């Protein structure tokens, strides 16, 4: 195998790697000293093991990004295409379903790896790429190739799960609930998110202060929260975890990193604390949504020095603004700046999260985007971080949340935090991968679920939010991927902000509350029958025929979903 070193798109060096082989495992290593002081941008590992030709049996599978999860690509004749995955999405990929089946697990510099997937005139390949950005590597590059002839992605998922359990400190839910009542409660109940209010999105004021801040749209105040839990009691929903979104000053994405107080337009801190106590007495857990990634200038604890500093095209150091959001019109709080992971923990989380916990919130505390964002380097000399450092500080925020509230949840499927995550509110945004998303995306597969079901609770997709109200396809996808229900009041907000679908729960009137809770009751009853599976591993996922799939759990339960007729079958 060879390592190809790039600066920009120019190959600057090619050298052999250190290889050791034990039975069917091939370990590849590049000592960091080999790369020191060279200024390489990208290191690509080129090999003959992860190649195939159009017409071959089998497929490639690889992580994509937070929008698309894990994709399967068959070796068919198609137009030339290249795809490069998100850095640090999931350090694993492979070729399955033929005699040359092989699994790759990246173990050293895993926070800096991505995968280059290519079809070049019928020649398919997957190449790990390590993104150094011209910086010094902090550890050896290390990866292992597992030769697994005729194995499937399910077989490989079980191998990667074993690695997570034995090497990465992941612990099954079944074990963790013995000492965590909040996780047990969550595993056996659905999640209900309630967005209480927000400012206009896109924002009319990109750089906000208390004088020019746009008005808050209040959609669910404390009176309506009380009405919702009252109706839940009436309709027989005995267990649910309620997550309050946008409860702080300025509503959702309104003034982060400021987390407190609650916005007085909802009813005030005293009323909020009273509601939490009431809901808990009725048998519900109540948690809330905070953010440790974005920073807005309108916050009372705004500090430009705490922002991530990145290099511009000329090598100058500048604060990082989240350009994608800015280019689409900003968020409720204006232009979202990126907080350095170290500052997010040391300057904010350790101070603010204990104050949030004083409201009485208990359960799986939600920190926005922590498992959805690629860990970002910071070049500020006062708080420098590598991508691996960023992961370390995000893990500290997750661990602090568990200490203060009892648990931790976030969104999307980047797996560098999964030893500390209890629930992912959606592992991907798209329920169905298509060639429109990328010509190399043939089909989505539940590889993440094969690895982590039974370790981390999850809802499959943003499109399976409020699944009882969605079409039959989304309902079957929810079931196929072993989801925990997520019901959402006001999942839509702002102009075009409906990535969770057009169907919503609302509470503008007593009738709307009754109707919304009735939808929740469907999810509650469904989950009562199947929540025992959250303690099991998803051991196998197989395609029986076109649009027909069977899932087998570690206790022997089999679920078959048939998208042709819109039906499913459960065999115990």
Contact indicator for 62, 70 with CB cutoff of 8 Å: yes
Domain membership flag for residue 25: yes
pLDDT tens profile 493-528:
877 777 788 899 999 999 999 999 999 999 999 999
Is 279 found in the same domain as 193? yes
Domain membership flag for residue 342: yes
Is 327 found in the same domain as 239? yes
**Predicted local distance difference test score (pLDDT) of residue 67:** 82
**Predicted local distance difference test score (pLDDT) of residue 9:** 82
Residue 293 has pLDDT above 80, yes or no: yes
CATH number at residue 187: 3.20.20.80
Is 540 found in the same domain as 523? no
Is 139 found in the same domain as 49? yes
**Collapsing DSSP states into helix, strand and coil, what is residue 474?**
helix
**Predicted local distance difference test score (pLDDT) of residue 571:** 97
Domain membership flag for residue 559: yes
Rounded to whole angstroms, how far apart are CA atoms 421 and 411?
10
Percent of the chain whose pLDDT exceeds 90 = 92
**Predicted local distance difference test score (pLDDT) of residue 373:** 87
End residue of a domain, out of 167, 194, 211? 167
Residue 239 in tokens: 């267990």
**Collapsing DSSP states into helix, strand and coil, what is residue 287?**
strand
**Predicted local distance difference test score (pLDDT) of residue 8:** 82
Rounded to whole angstroms, how far apart are CA atoms 120 and 50?
14
Domain membership flag for residue 433: no
Is 160 found in the same domain as 119? yes
Is 556 found in the same domain as 487? no
Residue 413 has pLDDT above 80, yes or no: no
pLDDT tens profile 181-223:
999 999 999 999 999 999 999 999 999 999 999 999 999 999 9
At 463, the pLDDT band (50, 70, 90 cuts) reads: very high
- The better pLDDT of the pair 473, 313 is held by 473
Is 273 found in the same domain as 183? yes
What's the Cα-to-Cα distance from 118 to each of 22, 113, 122, rounded to whole Å? 29, 16, 9
End residue of a domain, out of 167, 199, 233? 167
DSSP string, 82-122: EEEPPTTS-SEEEEESSTT-EEEEEEESGGGEEEEEEEETT
Residue 281 has pLDDT above 80, yes or no: yes
Is 373 found in the same domain as 496? yes
Averaged over 312-318, what is the pLDDT? 89
Burial profile 103-128: b = 16 or more Cβ within 10 angstroms, e = fewer: bbbbbbbbbbbbbbbbbeeeebbbbb
Rounded to whole angstroms, how far apart are CA atoms 81 and 86?
17
Averaged over 90-118, what is the pLDDT? 97
End residue of a domain, out of 131, 150, 167? 167
At 314, the pLDDT band (50, 70, 90 cuts) reads: confident
**Predicted local distance difference test score (pLDDT) of residue 339:** 98
Domain membership flag for residue 325: yes
Domain membership flag for residue 446: no
Averaged over 32-59, what is the pLDDT? 94
Is 100 found in the same domain as 241? no
pLDDT tens profile 470-501:
999 999 999 999 999 999 999 998 777 777 88
- Structural domains of the chain, count: 3
Structural domain range at position 288: 173-426+461-535
Helix and strand numbers, DSSP H then E, in the chain: 13, 33
Rounded to whole angstroms, how far apart are CA atoms 417 and 79?
37
- The better pLDDT of the pair 239, 8 is held by 239
Is 107 found in the same domain as 208? no
Average pLDDT, rounded, for the chain: 96
Domain membership flag for residue 509: yes
Contact indicator for 67, 366 with CB cutoff of 8 Å: no
Domain membership flag for residue 280: yes
**Predicted local distance difference test score (pLDDT) of residue 13:** 87
pLDDT tens profile 347-402:
999 999 999 999 999 999 999 999 998 999 999 999 999 999 999 999 999 999 99
Is 49 found in the same domain as 34? yes
Other Cβ atoms closer than 10 A to 409: 28
- The better pLDDT of the pair 124, 5 is held by 124
Is 367 found in the same domain as 299? yes
pLDDT tens profile 160-184:
999 999 999 999 999 999 999 999 9
């Amino acid at each position: 195998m060879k390592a190809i070193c790039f600066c920009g798109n120019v190959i600057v060096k090619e050298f052999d790697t250190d290889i050791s082989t034990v039975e069917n495992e091939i370990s590849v290593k590049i000592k960091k000293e080999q790369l020191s002081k060279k200024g390489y941008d990208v290191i690509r590992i080129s090999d003959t093991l992860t190649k195939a030709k159009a017409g071959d049996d089998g497929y490639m599978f690889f992580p994509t990004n937070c929008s698309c999860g894990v994709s399967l690509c068959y070796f068919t004749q198609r137009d030339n295409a290249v795809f490069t995955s998100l850095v640090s999405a999931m350090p694993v990929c492979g070729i399955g379903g033929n005699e040359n089946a092989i699994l790759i697990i990246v173990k050293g510099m895993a926070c800096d790896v991505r995968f280059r997937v290519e079809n070049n005139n019928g020649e398919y390949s997957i190449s790990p790429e390590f993104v150094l950005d011209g910086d010094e590597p902090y550890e050896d590059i290390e990866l292992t190739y597992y030769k697994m002839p005729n194995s499937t992605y399910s077989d490989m998922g079980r191998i990667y799960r074993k690695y997570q359990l034995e090497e990465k400190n992941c612990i099954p839910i079944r074990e963790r609930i013995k000492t965590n009542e909040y996780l047990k409660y969550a595993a056996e109940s659905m999640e209900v998110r309630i967005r209480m209010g927000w400012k206009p999105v896109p924002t009319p004021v990109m750089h906000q202060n208390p004088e020019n801040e746009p008005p808050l749209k209040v959609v669910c105040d404390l009176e309506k929260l009380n009405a919702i839990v009252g109706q839940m009691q009436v309709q027989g929903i005995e267990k649910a975890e309620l997550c309050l979104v946008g409860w702080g000053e300025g509503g959702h994405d309104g003034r982060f990193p400021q987390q407190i107080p609650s916005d007085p337009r909802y009813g005030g801190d005293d009323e909020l604390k009273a509601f939490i106590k009431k809901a808990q007495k009725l048998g519900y857990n109540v948690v809330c949504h905070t953010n440790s990634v974005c920073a807005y200038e309108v916050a009372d604890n705004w500090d430009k020095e705490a922002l991530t500093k990145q290099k511009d095209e000329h090598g100058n150091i500048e604060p990082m603004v989240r350009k994608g959001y800015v280019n689409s019109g900003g968020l409720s709080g204006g232009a979202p700046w990126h907080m350095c992971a170290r500052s997010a923990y040391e300057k904010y989380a350790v101070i603010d999260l204990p104050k949030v916990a004083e409201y009485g919130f208990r359960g799986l505390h939600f920190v926005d985007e922590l498992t959805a964002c690629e860990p970002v380097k910071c070049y500020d000399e006062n708080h420098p971080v590598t991508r691996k450092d960023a992961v370390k500080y995000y893990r500290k925020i997750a661990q602090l949340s568990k200490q203060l509230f009892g648990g931790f949840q976030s969104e999307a499927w980047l797996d560098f935090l999964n030893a500390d995550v209890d629930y992912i509110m959606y592992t991907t945004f798209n329920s169905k991968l298509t060639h429109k998303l990328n010509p190399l995306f043939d089909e989505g597969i539940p590889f993440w679920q094969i690895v982590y079901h039974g370790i981390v609770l999850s809802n499959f997709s943003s499109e399976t939010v409020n699944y009882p109200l969605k079409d039959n396809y989304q309902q079957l996808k929810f079931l196929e991927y072993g989801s925990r229900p997520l019901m959402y009041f006001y999942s839509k907000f702002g102009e075009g902000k409906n990535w969770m679908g057009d169907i919503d729960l609302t509470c503008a009137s007593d009738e709307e509350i009754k109707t919304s809770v009735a939808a929740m009751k469907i999810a509650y009853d469904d989950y009562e029958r199947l929540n025992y599976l959250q303690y099991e591993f998803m051991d196998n996922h197989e395609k029986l025929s076109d649009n027909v799939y069977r899932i087998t759990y570690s206790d022997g339960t089999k679920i078959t979903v048939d998208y042709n007729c819109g039906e499913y079958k459960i065999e115990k």
